[in-house]
Structures are given as C-alpha cells and as structure tokens.
Amino acid sequence: MESKLGEMMSSAADVSPSNSDTGSIGSTSGYDTARIEQVKAWLSSQFNAVGRQVPDFQYTSSNVAHLHNIVLLSQARTRASSIVADDLRIKAAEYRSQAVRVREILDSVGLSQERLPPLAVGSTQVIATVANLLSIRDTELSSFMVAMGDLMLRKEDVKEKRTKLIKESKELLEYTRKAIAKLNDLKKTLLKFENEVPAHEAHMNQWESNLITMDSKERQYVLQHSNYKALLNLVGYVPNINHGVLIKLAEHRKDLEKKTKPIMDTLRSYQDLPPDKALAALAIEDKKRQYAAAENYLEDVLHSALTTQK
C-alpha cells in the first residue's frame, strides 16, 4: 500500500507544472472545489490506512485532474474487489455448509475421518491434492483419465515447443558465432586500413601534386594548340589538306615529271645544234612553247586537285 501511494504521489508530482504556473487552493481560482475535496478525502483515507500523513504539495489543475482519475480508478477497483470478495464469501459459506453435510453423511455410514485408518486418510489427501492440481471437481476415474490425457497433451506441446526453442537457440548461437567471427574480421580489416592510411595519404599527396602539374601542362598545351591553329590559319592551311592528299599530289607530280623529262632532254640536246642559227632558233622557240604548255598543264592539274578536295 505504501509503495502504491508513493507511486501515485510521484506521478502527481511529475505532471505538476513549474512554479510560475502553480498556486495553492486559497490563492488560485477556477479549480473544481468538489473534485479537490474528493481528492483530499481519498488521500487522507489512504495515508491514514497505512499510518502516514499526506505530504504537502501544491494542487494544480493538471495534478488534481490526474489524482482525480486515480481516485475514480481506485474506487471502481475497490467496488469490483468488494463484489468479488462478497461472492467468494458466499461461495465459502456454501462450501462450508456442503462440507458439514458431507461430514454428516460420512459419519452416518461410518466413514468419518476419525474412523478411517491413517493410510486411507493419507491416500484420500493425496487424491484430493492430485485432483486440485489437475483442476477437477470430482474423484471419478474418468475425470482423472481425461485430466491426465490433457496433461499429456500439454506435456507433448511443451516438449515440442522446447525442442523448437532449443533448435532456435542453436541457430541463434551459430548466427552469433558467425557474427562474432565477422566482427573480428571487420576489426582486423579496420586495423589494417588504419595502418595503411599514412602510406595512402602520401600517395594521395603525390597524386595531388601530379594533378596540379598535369593541370598546368593542360593549360600550356591548350595555349600552344591555339597558337598553332592561328599560325596554320595564317599560312592558309585548311583541314582538307591532309597527309593522303599530299601523297596523291606528290605521286601526280612524279607522273608529270616523267612526262616533262623527255622534253627537257630534247632541250638539252639543242646545245649541240649545227651552226645554222636560224634553224636552231626556230627549234628552241618550239621547245620553249612545249615546255611552257607542260608547266601550264601541271599548274592546272594541281589547281583542279585542290579544288576537288575542298
């Protein structure tokens, strides 16, 4: 009783607000006076029952409401307990009257407890104890057999549950062992990584310096590429003039040189012309015209090849 009252008082104190929100009954208005008086009367009755005084505390709206709910719950449980107690007292009186009638019947047939041998009395008490343990109301053999059957079924059910629990316990134990092993592995891995941190930090610092260098080189190469591109644009380079085009033009030039070589050889042969100057001059002029025509043809071919590639 003392522990219950202490718990109720502590719970009421827990729900009480700060001092700025609290006040005594005489100084605070708006409280339900009847409810407060009911709470005070109930607290006095409960503490007086255990020989203690009601401790001083401030009655606020929150803790009064909380205590009033406890009072209503306590009164409801008290009424329920009184009803149950009255019913049990009635049943006890009925059982006592039945015991008196059974004793009178046993005395009339000569089977009273005083007349039975001690062994029979002990056996009867054992039977009564077993009947109480099996929760049966009579000592018929059929009732004992039914109760023993129910007990065996419950025993088998408990046995199955126990086997299942043992199996689950073993599985949990195995899982726990694996988890512990995994945890140890993770700890070792963590320790390994922690030991490797300085070396990796050194590598990271080196990579960071290399990245800085590469970044500066990239800017330098981009600038150089822009300069080269501007220079190529200045000299008239176009993307169409690539390595393949140049190779084709070189091969075509060789073909033209092969075609012009006989003409050049003929012109050189005129160095050994006869003394007739007039014939020699005519021959020279003819060869010059042929050479000029070959040069013009070469220029036209080169110009048409470049135009086709564009």
pLDDT tens digit string along 53-78?
888 878 788 888 888 899 899 889 98
- What confidence score (pLDDT) does residue 136 get? 81
Question: In the chain, what's the furthest Cα-to-Cα distance?
Answer: 190
**Amino acid in position 191:** L
Say how far apart CA 126 and CA 130 lie, in whole Å: 6
Highest mean pLDDT among 43-52, 167-176, 220-229, 237-246: 167-176
Instruction: Write out the two tokens for 271.
Output: 């160095």
The answer to whether 290 touches 259, Cβ cutoff 8 Å, is no
Whether 243 contacts 309, CB under 8 Å? no
Average pLDDT (227-237) is: 78
In tens, the pLDDT along 162-214 reads 999 999 999 999 999 999 999 999 999 999 989 988 888 888 888 999 999 99
Q: What's the pLDDT score for residue 273? A: 53
Residue 83: the pLDDT is 94
Q: Rounded mean pLDDT of 235-259?
A: 76
Q: How far is the C-alpha of 225 from the C-alpha of 233, rounded, in Å?
A: 12
67 CB-near residues (< 8 Å, 6+ apart):
8, 12, 39, 42, 43
C-alpha to C-alpha distances, 180 to 167, 168, 174, nearest whole angstrom: 20, 18, 10
* Positions of E strands within the chain: none
pTM value is 0.33
Show the tokens assigned to 20: 């700025």
Whether the pLDDT of residue 220 is over 50: the answer is: yes
Q: Give me the chain's average pLDDT, please.
A: 79
Question: Are 80 and 73 in contact, with CB atoms under 8 Å apart?
Answer: no
User: Residue 116's closest CA among 103, 100, 129, 97?
Assistant: 103
- Domain boundaries in the chain? 31-114, 239-295
CA distance 201 to 290: 79
Structure tokens at 268: 């050189």
CA 230, CA 126: separation in Å to the nearest integer?
Answer: 118
Q: Are 59 and 31 in contact (CB under 8 A)?
A: yes
Is the predicted pLDDT of residue 10 greater than 60, yes or no? no
Taking the CB of residue 43, how many other CB atoms lie within 10 A of it?
A: 20
Give residue-wise pLDDT tens across range 80-124.
999 999 999 999 999 899 888 888 887 787 766 677 778 877 887
Query: In the prediction, which pLDDT does 277 show?
Result: 65
